[in-house]
Amino acid sequence: METKANYVAVGAFVLACMLALVVTVLWLAGVQYSQEYVYYTTKFTGSVSGLGKGTVVRYNGLEVGRVENLGFAPNDPSSVIVTLEVRPDLSIYNDATASIASQGLTGGSYVEIIGGKKRAEEDKLPQTTSKPYPEIKSVPSTWAVLQESAPEVVHKVNLIADKLNKLLDDKNRAAFSHILANLDTITSTMAARSADLDATLRNTNEATRNLAIASRDLDPTLKQANATLLKLDKLSTDADAVVTGDGIAQLSALVADSRRLVTSLTSLSDQLNREPTRVIFGDRRKGYTPK
């Protein structure tokens, strides 16, 4: 009897736990479905692979809602209209953008809402639960941009490969081999003459040091020559002043007086040669006096 009573107690406990679990799940589900969302739409051009109903919606990296529906744009099958259900406590402004992002290279896709700076109240997108829903502008995803630019990148890679093939043809490879051989010869020669190179460097260093000493010794001579040049310049200036000033007039007068003196001395010399007594004693001859 005690064994049967224990089985009954265990069974009742398990049933109670299962009932509590069901009640908890129903309560959580009720809370989830009773939560109210606001709705927005965004239009993606091209493929929306990875998106589906229930896909996560993130705002600046934080989960804020789910994708509620997807459908083709009217009269434009190349575009897809995506309806987003977002928490009502989130304010989205008209400069926000939506894009398709991926969680790593192998992760699932999700809708990422980026940006939206708080400004005036009229710049905020309206929150509504009925159509028409306000639209969030979309931008191409990074993967879409890579897919669009992939052909151009491949074309450039092909061009580079062609140029490399031309650069590495037989003729250029032979030239490169010749250059490498010459470089090897040069380096081998330099290694063999390393002692001579060291000696040359030491001699160059010694010559530089001697030149510095000679330059230091030559400095007083240069200063003296500079002083001499200054004196010559002053002498030239004084001579120029003499030539261009009153000195030239005085010199001309002196030359004229010297010429007159020479003329007088010449005349006196001539008279001494002809009549020295007359010059010395005067003219003593008496002239004829009529009676």
| Domain regions of the chain by residue span | 36-139
The pLDDT score that the predictor gives to residue 84 is 94
The pLDDT score that the predictor gives to residue 83 is 94
SS3 124: strand
pLDDT of 46-72, one tens digit each? Answer: 888 888 899 999 998 899 999 999 999
Tell me what percent of the chain is helix, strand and coil, each rounded to the nearest 5. Answer: 60, 20, 25
Listed in sequence order, the residues at least 6 apart from 247 whose beta carbon sits closer than 8 Å to its beta carbon are 241
The pLDDT score that the predictor gives to residue 31 is 47
What pTM was computed for the model? 0.43
pLDDT of 14-49, one tens digit each? Answer: 788 888 887 777 766 554 444 588 999 999 988 888
Residues of the chain with pLDDT under 50: 31-34, 287-288, 291
Give yes or no for a contact between 129 and 39, defined as CB atoms under 8 angstroms apart: yes
Q: At what angle do helices 247-274 and 194-244 cross, to 10 degrees?
A: 70
Query: Does an H or E element contain 23, and which?
Result: helix 2-34
The pLDDT score that the predictor gives to residue 81 is 93
Q: Which two tokens stand for residue 129?
A: 């639960």
Dihedral over Cα of 275, 279, 282, 287: its sign = positive
